[in-house]
Amino acid sequence: MKKAKQTNSATSATASLNGLSKDDIKQAIVRHLHCSMGTDENKANDHAWWKAACAAVQEQVLERLRSTQKAHYMNDTRAVHYFSAEFLMGRLMSNNLHNLGLYEKTHQAMRELGVDLTDVMEQEPDMALGNGGLGRLAACFIDSLATLDLPAIGYGLHYEHGLFRQEIRSGAQIERPDSWRDYGNPWEICRPESIQEIPLYGYVETKYGDKGQINKEWHPGSIVKGVPWDIPVVGYGGKTVNVLRLWESQASDYFNWDVFNAGGYVDAQRENVQAETISKVLYPNDETEAGKELRLIQQYFFCACSLKDIIRRYKRAHGDDWSRFADQVVIQLNDTHPAIAIPELIRILVDRAGMDWGAAWEISSKTFAYTNHTLLPEALEKWPARMLEKILPRHLEIIYEINHRFMRKVEEKWPGDDAIKRKLSIIEESSEKMIRMGNLSVIGSFAVNGVAEIHSRLVKENLFPEFEKLWPGKLTNVTNGITPRRWLKACNPALSKLISERIGDKWPTELYKLQGLANFADDKEFQQQFMQIKHDNKVRLAAEVKTLTGVELDPNMIFDIQIKRLHEYKRQHLNLLHILALYRRLLEDPDYDMHPRAFLFGAKAAPGYKLAKDIIYAINKVADKINNDVRVNHKLKVVFLPNYRVSLAEKMIPAADISEQISTAGKEASGTGNMKLSLNGALTVGTLDGANIEIAEEVGEENIFIFGLTVEQVQKLHAGGYNPYDIYDNSREIKAILDWLETDYFTPGKPGELASVKQSLLDGGDPYLVLADFDAYSEAQQKADRAYRDKAGWARKAIINTARMGKFTSDRSIREYVERIWRLTPCHVE
- Residue ranges binding ligand GFP (CB under 6 A): 69, 73, 131-134, 137, 191, 193-194, 313, 373-374, 451, 480, 565, 668-672, 690
- The answer to whether 564 is a known catalytic residue is yes
CB 62 within 8 A of CB 10: yes
Complete DSSP assignment for 618-663:
HHHHHHHHHHT-TTTTTTEEEEE-SS--HHHHHHHGGG-SEEEE-P
Q: Which is nearer to ligand GFP, 480 or 680 (CB)?
A: 480
Distances (CA, A) of 738 to 617, 625, 707, 730: 15, 16, 22, 13
* Residue 198 near residue 224 (C-beta atoms within 8 A): yes
560 vs 668, which CB is nearer to ligand GFP?
668
Nearer to ligand GFP, 364 or 670 (CB): 670
Is residue 722 classed as helix, strand or coil in its secondary structure? Answer: coil
Stated length of the chain: 830
Q: How far apart are CA 745 and CA 739, in angstroms?
A: 10
Considering 78, 308, 676, 812, which one is annotated as catalytic?
Answer: 676
Q: Where are the beta strands (DSSP E) in 603-682?
A: 636-640, 658-661
- Which amino acid, residue 303? C
Terminal alpha carbon distance of the chain: 31
Rounded to 5 degrees, what are φ and ψ at 661? -130, 75
3-class DSSP assignment, residue 145: helix
Shortest distance, position 312 Cβ to ligand GFP, whole Å: 7
Which of 98, 308, 313, 570 is an active site residue? 570
Angle at 469 between CA 464 and CA 473, to 5 degrees: 85
809 is catalytic: no
Q: In this complex, which beta carbon is closest to ligand GFP, that of residue 256 or of residue 336?
A: 336
Q: How far is the CB of 540 from ligand GFP (least distance, A)?
A: 27
Give least dist CB 149 to ligand GFP, A: 17
Residue nearer to ligand GFP on the CB measure, 312 or 631:
312
What is the DSSP secondary structure assignment for residue 124, as one 8-state letter?
A: S
Of the pair 484, 690, the CB lying nearest ligand GFP is at 690
Residue 322, classed as helix, strand or coil, is helix
How many CB atoms neighbour CB 506 within 10 A?
11
- B/e letters for 222-231, b = 16+ CB within 10 Å, e = fewer, are bbbbbbbbbb
Question: What is the number of the residue whose Cβ is closest to ligand GFP?
Answer: 133
- Smaller CB separation from ligand GFP, 687 or 778: 687
* Contact of 734 with 774, CB cutoff 8 Å: yes
CB of 75 to ligand GFP, least distance (A): 13
Helix (H) / strand (E) containing 72: helix 46-75
Residues 6+ apart with CB under 8 A from 532: none
In whole angstroms, how far apart are CA 533 and each of 63, 486, 539, 666?
A: 37, 18, 10, 35
Neighbours of 181 (CB within 10 A): 16
**Minimal distance in Å, beta carbon 242 to ligand GFP?**
11
Least distance CB 561 / ligand GFP (angstroms): 17
Q: Name beta bridge partners: 332.
A: 82, 369
Catalytic residue among 225, 436, 565, 597: 565
Q: How far is the CB of 163 from ligand GFP (least distance, A)?
A: 11
- Please state the closest distance from residue 133 (CB atom) to ligand GFP, in A: 3
How far apart (Å, rounded) are the C-alpha atoms in residues 776 and 782?
Answer: 10
Between CA 241 and CA 256 the distance in angstroms is 37
Question: By the 8 A CB rule, do 328 and 78 touch?
Answer: yes
Instruction: Single out the catalytic residue among 336, 672, 687, 809.
Output: 672
Q: Which is nearer to ligand GFP, 134 or 145 (CB)?
A: 134
Longest dimension (CA), the chain: 92
Buried residues in 135-147 as b, exposed as e (16+ CB within 10 A): bbbbbbbbbbbbb
Return the number of the residue (150 or 521) whose C-beta is nearest ligand GFP: 150
Is 373 tagged catalytic?
A: yes
CB of 95 to ligand GFP, least distance (A): 19
| Rounded CA separation 538/555 (Å) | 6
CA distance 453 to 694: 8
Nearest to ligand GFP of 565, 625 (CB atom):
565
Query: CB 332 → ligand GFP: shortest distance, Å?
Result: 12
In angstroms, rounded to a whole number, what is the distance separating the alpha carbons of residues 686 and 708?
A: 8
Classify 344 as helix, strand or coil: helix
Q: How many CB atoms lie within 10 A of CB 473?
A: 7
Label residues 669-687 b or e (16+ Cβ within 10 Å = b).
bbbbbbbbbbbbbbbbbbb
Residue among 245, 485, 564, 637 flagged as catalytic = 564
Taking the least distance from each CB to ligand GFP, the nearer of 40 and 461 is: 461
Residues belonging to the active site:
373, 564-565, 570, 672, 676
